[in-house]
């Protein structure tokens, strides 16, 4: 159900504007039905003044509602009371006025109830002189081409007398004229107020009338407060009508042609009726022309947000200028007056389908349904928009679904008339599960690294430790800092609070210890025993390392064959006799520390030296030097004895 502007109101509006067609251009965008949802489409209809060219006119009787006072304003132009039977000086209009297919912007006002565009020296062949004599005597019908004053608007053309006397109060009894309004809807208004008839003077009553010409629409109006004929002068003639420049075209109200008629409080409108419409509508959205909108009325629009729609009426004048008026209306989706429906989530532990309660009326209205709204549910947006295939209302509380489904609800506002289309999702999630693990069950109390667990449970929970104090842990992320923790044993679980759909859940506990991991490894044998050079088959000098702290032992790698290591009483002893030659770099590494320590050493085993030959220079004489030549392993140490004495030399 949609909000609809009552039909009789629309008919009344349009009928009024047709029966009493306007003279001033206007445009009125009629408020459309409500746009209940983003993207809903509505028709925009503009009521505006449609105009035609001025080749011909039709005459309408209109209500007597003069648009201005007959008495002059402070800035009005007023005839001098000594200027009877005179034309005004040339008055320049601030707009071009189209009259019988010609446009004029200068006019003369006559003291005898008419105006003319037939100005000598201004228009070709013009016969009326500014400030000159205004003819009072005539007997022709306005339909007669010989009518004395051409290109004229008569209202009422008769021989009034503005002289003083018979005028008693020229501040009131006068001919006055001025421009009213602002572009492009200005008016030129001439008023003849309480003027005597010539000869009869006030004997037949004072004469009051008004001529109005309208910018853009080119409509002419004549208002007659009082017209009574002076039968003893000029045959009592008076006329209301218009005539073109050569007398070939004219128009007048019935019974208001040249004659002795009487009128009070009547009004006439001369509407251009040339058969060619010179007004056109176009539409803008936020100031930009809507494609294809020229000449469209109504126009269909589908706003998704508040949008300014402007109806622009363009009037093409007889001088080819274009004048425009416009009106803007803001249209957009109505504000949803209730609470948006919520997604429905359930915890599941078995196979689908699952049971959902999709009746959200109470929730949407914030409690108990008021009865001012109606609800219907659908499986698609299209169904909801077209009110087809609704979900059986008897199944709303036990609706079956596998989850992952969107439900559409049409909320009908019984008072405002809108139908709001909203949606919500059905979600089936598994009951909480998962666990947490850290990279190790043991961490050293001097370890300043940060450790975050692997967590396979749903997010949104917190970490809980037993005992509650001692372990440095971020309860949101589970990150621990061993160096800020107290040594001891801890049990950690990840906890999820219960929700409206799922129960609380705790992961299996993870047991974790913070331990003292300080340890040491020191060479305690003689200096440089960890860097020995020996000959093969010689035993190495024993090498000792002392292991301390929480270290439980040590591993030694890289020793030469024949050499081994033994750990006993916190001491590692390396000893033995190498059976191979070469240089051997060995490592000693603690066992049981959080960060095991390593010390390195080197054992170089050289081959055994050999003696190839010994020669001398004898025999020799007493007093001569004995020279011995020893050939063998280079750089080897040679020990020899002379006369029971022992000497060593390399």
Classify burial at 342, counting beta carbons within 10 Å of its beta carbon; exposed 0-12, middle 13-18, buried 19 or more.
exposed
Say if residues 561 and 536 touch (Cβ distance below 8 Å).
no
pLDDT of 372 > 60? The answer is yes
Could you read off the pLDDT of 206-247 as tens digits, one per residue? 999 999 999 999 999 999 999 999 999 999 999 999 999 999
Looking at domain 436-515, does it have CATH number 2.30.320? Answer: no
Could you read off the pLDDT of 464-477 as tens digits, one per residue? 999 999 999 999 99
Q: Could you tell me the pLDDT band of residue 258, with boundaries at 50, 70 and 90?
A: very high
Q: Residue 523's pLDDT is what? A: 93
Q: What is the average pLDDT value for the chain, to the nearest integer?
A: 92
Could you read off the pLDDT of 547-586 as tens digits, one per residue? 988 888 999 999 999 999 999 999 999 999 999 999 999 9
Task: Write down the CATH superfamily of domain 519-606.
Answer: Immunoglobulins (2.60.40.10)
Secondary structure percentages of the chain, helix, strand, coil, to 5: 5, 45, 50
Report how far apart, in Å, the C-alpha atoms of 396 and of each of 356, 369, 371, 468, 501 are.
8, 16, 18, 47, 18
pLDDT of 425 > 90? The answer is yes
* Whether the domain at 436-515 and the domain at 519-606 fall into the same CATH topology: yes
Q: Residue 128's pLDDT is what? A: 98
Q: Return the CATH fold of 1-7+30-50+277-334.
A: Immunoglobulin-like (2.60.40)
Looking at per-residue pLDDT, the higher value among 550 and 127 belongs to 127
Q: Round to whole Å and give the CA distance between 319 and 10.
A: 36
Q: Could you tell me the pLDDT band of residue 515, with boundaries at 50, 70 and 90?
A: confident
3-state secondary structure of 145: coil
**If we measure between CA atoms, which residue out of 112, 109, 142, 149 comes closest to residue 127?**
149
pLDDT of 411 > 60? The answer is yes
pLDDT of 7 > 60? The answer is no
Percent of the chain at pLDDT exceeding 70: 95
For 391-507, where are the alpha helices, taking DSSP H only?
none
237-246, 371-380, 610-619: segment of lowest average pLDDT? 610-619
314-318, 373-377, 618-622: segment of lowest average pLDDT? 618-622
Say if residues 300 and 40 touch (Cβ distance below 8 Å).
no
DSSP conformation class of 607: P
Ranges of each domain in the chain: 1-7+30-50+277-334, 57-272, 344-430, 436-515, 519-606, 613-649
- The CA-based angle 490-496-498, given to 5 degrees, is 140
Q: Round to whole Å and give the CA distance between 269 and 224.
A: 12
Could you read off the pLDDT of 275-301 as tens digits, one per residue? 999 999 999 999 999 999 999 999 999
Q: Which residues pair with 102 in a beta bridge?
A: 99
| Predicted structure pTM score | 0.64
**3-state secondary structure string, 462-496?**
EEEEECCCCCCECCCCCCECHHHCCCEEEEEEEEE
Q: Residue 114's pLDDT is what? A: 98
Give the CA dihedral 466, 469, 472, 476, nearest 10 degrees: 60
Q: Residue 616's pLDDT is what? A: 75
What φ, ψ does residue 361 adopt, rounded to 5°?
Answer: -55, -50
Q: Round to whole Å and give the CA distance between 130 and 125.
A: 14
Q: Residue 648's pLDDT is what? A: 65
pLDDT of 96 > 60? The answer is yes
Q: Round to whole Å and give the CA distance between 48 and 314.
A: 11
Say if residues 327 and 45 touch (Cβ distance below 8 Å).
no
Q: Round to whole Å and give the CA distance between 406 and 421.
A: 13
User: Average pLDDT for residues 89-105, to the nearest whole number?
Assistant: 97
104 membership: H or E segment, kind and range: strand 102-110
């Amino acid at each position: 159900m949609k909000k609809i502007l009552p039909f009789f109101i629309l008919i009344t509006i349009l009928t009024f504007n047709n029966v009493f067609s306007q003279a001033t251009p206007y445009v009125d965008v009629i408020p459309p039905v409500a746009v209940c949802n983003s993207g809903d489409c509505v028709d925009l209809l503009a009521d505006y003044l449609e105009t035609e060219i001025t080749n011909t006119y039709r005459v309408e009787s209109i209500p007597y509602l003069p648009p201005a006072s007959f008495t002059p304003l402070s800035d009005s132009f007023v005839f001098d009371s000594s200027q009877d039977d005179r034309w005004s000086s040339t008055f320049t209009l601030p707009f071009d006025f189209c009259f019988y297919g010609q446009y004029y912007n200068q006019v003369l006002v006559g003291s005898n109830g008419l105006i003319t565009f037939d100005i000598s020296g201004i228009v070709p062949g013009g016969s009326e002189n500014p400030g000159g004599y205004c003819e009072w005597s005539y007997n022709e019908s306005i339909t007669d081409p010989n009518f004395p004053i051409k290109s004229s608007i008569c209202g009422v053309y008769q021989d009034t007398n503005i002289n003083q006397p018979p005028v008693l109060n020229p501040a009131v009894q006068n001919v006055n004229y001025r421009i009213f309004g602002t572009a492009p809807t200005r008016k030129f208004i001439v008023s003849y107020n309480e003027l005597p008839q010539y000869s009869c003077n006030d004997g037949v009553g004072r004469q009051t009338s008004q001529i109005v010409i309208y910018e853009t629409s080119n409509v002419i109006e004549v208002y007659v407060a009082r017209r009574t004929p002076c039968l003893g002068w000029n045959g009592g003639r008076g006329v209301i009508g218009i005539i073109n420049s050569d007398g070939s075209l004219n128009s007048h109200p019935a019974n208001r042609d040249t004659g002795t008629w009487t009128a009070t409080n009547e009004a006439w409108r001369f509407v251009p009726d040339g058969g060619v419409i010179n007004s056109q509508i176009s539409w803008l959205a936020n100031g930009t022309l809507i494609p294809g909108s020229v000449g469209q009325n109504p126009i269909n629009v589908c706003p998704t947000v508040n949008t300014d729609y402007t109806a622009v009426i363009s009037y093409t004048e007889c001088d080819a200028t274009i004048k425009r008026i416009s009106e803007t209306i803001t249209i957009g989706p109505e504000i949803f007056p209730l609470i948006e429906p919520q997604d429905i989530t359930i915890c599941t532990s078995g196979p689908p389908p699952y049971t959902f309660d999709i009746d959200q009326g109470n929730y949407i209205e914030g409690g108990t349904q008021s009865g001012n709204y109606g609800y219907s549910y659908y499986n698609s947006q299209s169904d909801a928009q077209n009110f087809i295939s609704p979900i059986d209302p008897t199944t709303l509380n036990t609706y079956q679904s596998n989850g992952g489904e969107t439900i559409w609800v049409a909320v009908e506002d019984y008072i405002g008339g809108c139908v709001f289309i909203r949606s919500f999702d059905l979600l089936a999630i598994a009951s909480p599960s998962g666990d947490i693990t850290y990279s190790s069950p043991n961490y050293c109390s001097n370890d300043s690294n940060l450790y975050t667990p692997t967590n396979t449970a749903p997010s949104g929970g917190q970490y809980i430790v037993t005992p509650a104090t001692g372990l440095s842990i971020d309860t949101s992320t589970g990150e621990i800092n061993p160096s800020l923790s107290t040594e001891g044993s801890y049990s950690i679980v990840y906890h999820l609070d219960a929700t409206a759909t799922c129960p609380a859940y705790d992961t299996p506990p993870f047991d974790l210890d913070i331990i003292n991991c300080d340890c040491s490894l020191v060479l305690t044998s003689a200096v440089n025993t960890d860097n020995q050079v020996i000959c093969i088959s010689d035993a190495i000098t024993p090498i000792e390392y002392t292991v301390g702290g929480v270290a439980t032992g040590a591993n030694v790698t890289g020793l030469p064959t024949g050499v081994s290591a033994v750990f006993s009483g916190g001491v590692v002893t390396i000893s033995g006799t190498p059976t191979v030659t070469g240089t051997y770099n060995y490592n000693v590494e603690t066992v049981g520390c959080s960060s095991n320590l390593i010390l390195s050493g080197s054992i170089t085993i050289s081959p055994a030296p050999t003696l190839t030959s010994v020669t001398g220079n004898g025999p020799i004489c007493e007093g001569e030097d004995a020279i011995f030549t020893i050939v063998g392993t280079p750089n080897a140490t040679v020990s020899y004895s002379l006369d029971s004495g022992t000497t060593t030399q390399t």
